[in-house]
Structure 1
């Protein structure tokens, strides 16, 4: 049957007439919300642990000048208001134990990427993404009882949540490859992937308020319940392909048939050898691992840094750690629009845009992270520098993050699974290593962490700039239909 034939049921035709947004935009927005659900659940523990764990090494010494550090490299305590719920710590976890609790998520996250990506490429990405967010919701709702039972139960649950979240990015890449035309890829792709940043924003902002006014368990129940609601809506209104969607208008389906094609139709098996041995794949792996190191340092450990070193209160901590990600989210949206404009107008080639945005999103964040560690206890300056750091990191979503779609639309889920899975190694090792590097939780020790992050970010981006590509690779079935690399160079 021709994919342009309008074979939808009557109810689907009637719904499409009243739907104001194109279905590809609806899908992108649902992908955006899926990442909000995933990341609020992922990051919530990073905030809860600041009040769940009894801290023994934070100094309460006062200083006369708030721009100076206390003698042990820790800032003076910011006092809570009298209406705060008193929560002074429950569990005596060492810094190393806290590192393993925070890092346990990534053990599961690592092992499920590849199976999830292969399933998404082979059978369609919708139910892969839906199942993953659904299981994440269950794990979040079970977090309070697991914390009360003991650290081993909590670690086990976090590993399970990591397994559930591993295939989400590969699945979303698979959906984008089927639904989003190349000339809209930067804009719609950054909107979709911006959900991860917005999830961190909401988790940081809401966690601080929820922990301030309510018992710590309320936060987990709120985020878990919202994820359940997303699962129900997504299961009803989204599909893996525009050619099986019951609500899509014929005009949009014809447009996608012309601009995207049916990447899921008659697709051969995954070409493992040429895929894994290609230089563009190597560049994606290295750049992903470098980016993830810097990103996970900020996502997982910034709340601890703000609480233990800069000494923000529980409520303020959530708000100030949200600000950098607000900047990052706004920058990602702007960079997506700018990237598409640069490509459409012919001012820069696609590969140049990807490399430029990737390099800027590595060198600048590393520079401002390090600068923040030299700002002493000037809280406003510290927050401003971290905010600028994450603003500049937002350009990454219009850079390397979309390269899997560029080099292989047919196998983008598998490629994303491989590079994200290997990148998650940094999520496993970063928290314990940071715990070992910061036993006294002072600024001098944290400064080393930020310097290491800056170097790793920069070197990984340089590798991508040297050997990365944005051309469809010969192993992809869409290669013969694409413009050849030498043709692209003339544009």
Structure 2
């Protein structure tokens, strides 16, 4: 029995023969499912709010002579809600309710990343996903019993719970996934956020058109609780502590990754924060998240308030763009691995190219979509093309925290993703201020702004970014010392 096998708990060494999938694949899939859960938790309110709020601004726009900025309202008989059941929240209030999530989201990123780096990712990821689900379940009570301020508190709590999710996932993947498989398994894992939006929008549309609106919160929140129970039994923070990992896989992971979670020196804050590569990845994340969060948060409202689509149609229309993005992200992962493995592109060039394409093209099609007027087919098609081209982002910049420092991937992801969350916090009230009448001409400005921010941030990442292990990481090898790794 070799050293790697000895590291496993004695009581579980016989269970490896029952494992049908490699444990690194299982961990990646559970991370994928975690993101599905937390994004359904996060986004479901964007759909619910379209049916529980009095459409004051939309009525005001329709009563003016400037009808070019208002599309005909599409209502199904089953969707007519009594005014007594609606809440009188104006556009700015709705934007504040949706955006306050990011206040908590920003705060908890760095503590979560540090905890995951120091103690392992399992319980940071598990507990945070659980709390997110519980917060979703209590959203109904907050709205009915507490009103706006109580709902905002719940949203902040949900943000605090979700902040450590991406840092913890980066630590988990850095501990379990070798660099040569990172494009495929890493992209699979991170694409759960996109599928979560798809399921949230499509299922919310069906649930809201068939059941009382609180059911949406209970379904998505309950799924997160079930995920936590399963995850607690299946996954560990590292291969060395997994009771059922096969010896062959343990040896492979130890040789290709090493013990990234053991005996690490203190976090090299100065070197990390003064790194140009760090600055590039933070700015890139901020720019991407501005465009992404505008779509995630406001696409259902755009479809409802501007295009006037029904609730059931809204769920379908807002799911298609993210379905395209999800499929593109899944395809881009293996493509990125192939480009790097065959030497056609260096890891840094691949990360930069995919990041730039997933900024420029989505931004362009967003702007074009805003000029398609009330042609619902054209608008949905253009939004779908836009998000299709955003898919390669996950095989680009999103993987660089693991590339730059496997030992401190959680901390770097906390700094980058937390910095990007500023975009979510700032974009919601700004979009609300720019679109007080939910008018087409107001949304032109919103989407043009997205294009400019996306492109500038991607250009900065092209200039400063890197996909190589940085000198402050204990696993860093000076040029010339890693010829064997290059050959692989």
**1:431 alignment partner, one of 417, 428, 431:** 428
Does structure 1 residue 480 correspond to structure 2 residue 477?
A: yes
**1:307 alignment partner, one of 304, 309, 333:** 304
**Root-mean-square deviation (Å):** 2.1
Q: Which residue of 2 aligns with 1:91?
A: 87
Does structure 1 residue 400 correspond to structure 2 residue 397?
A: yes
Alpha-carbon contact 1:60-1:77 (below 8 Å) kept: no
**Structure 1 alignment gaps of length 5 or more:** 64-68
Q: How does 1:107-186 map to 2 (within 5 A)?
A: 107-148=103-144, 149-186=146-183
CA distance in structure 1 between the aligned counterparts of 2:132 and 2:118, rounded to whole angstroms:
23
Runs of 4+ with deviation above 2 angstroms? 5-15, 59-63, 82-89, 480-491
Q: Which residue of 2 aligns with 1:467?
A: 464
Q: How does 1:407-422 map to 2 (within 5 A)?
A: 407-422=404-419
The superposition leaves residues 117-147 of structure 1 with CA deviations (integer Å, 9 ceiling, x where unpaired) of 0000001011000010011011011000100
The superposition leaves residues 174-222 of structure 1 with CA deviations (integer Å, 9 ceiling, x where unpaired) of 0000000000000000000000000000000001111111111000000
Q: Which residue of 2 aligns with 1:330?
A: 327
Alpha-carbon contact 1:104-1:155 (below 8 Å) kept: yes
Does structure 1 residue 361 correspond to structure 2 residue 358?
A: yes
**2:202 alignment partner, one of 182, 205, 218:** 205
Alpha-carbon contact 2:369-2:379 (below 8 Å) kept: yes
Alpha-carbon contact 2:7-2:240 (below 8 Å) kept: no
Q: 1:471 deviation in Å?
A: 1.3
The TM-score normalised by the length of structure 1 is 0.95
Q: Which residue of 1 aligns with 2:258?
A: 261
Q: Which SS does the other structure have where 2:70 is aligned?
A: coil
CA distance in structure 2 between the aligned counterparts of 1:245 and 1:483, rounded to whole angstroms:
35
Q: Which residue of 2 aligns with 1:339?
A: 336
Does structure 1 residue 17 correspond to structure 2 residue 32?
A: no
Q: Which residue of 2 aligns with 1:66?
A: none
CA distance in structure 2 between the aligned counterparts of 1:57 and 1:225, rounded to whole angstroms:
34
Q: 1:102 deviation in Å?
A: 0.5
Q: 1:431 deviation in Å?
A: 1.1
Cα separation, partners in 2 of 1:490 and 1:259, compared to 1, 3 Å: closer
CA distance in structure 2 between the aligned counterparts of 1:157 and 1:257, rounded to whole angstroms:
42
The superposition leaves residues 254-290 of structure 1 with CA deviations (integer Å, 9 ceiling, x where unpaired) of 0000111110111000000000000000001100000
The TM-score normalised by the length of structure 2 is 0.96
Q: Which SS does the other structure have where 1:79 is aligned?
A: coil
Identify, as 1 or 2, the structure richer in helix: 2
134-143 or 13-22, which deviates more: 13-22
Q: 1:62 deviation in Å?
A: 8.6
Cα separation, partners in 2 of 1:73 and 1:85, compared to 1, 3 Å: closer
Q: Which SS does the other structure have where 2:4 is aligned?
A: coil
Q: Which SS does the other structure have where 1:411 is aligned?
A: helix
Alpha-carbon contact 1:112-1:164 (below 8 Å) kept: yes
Q: State the number of aligned residues.
A: 485
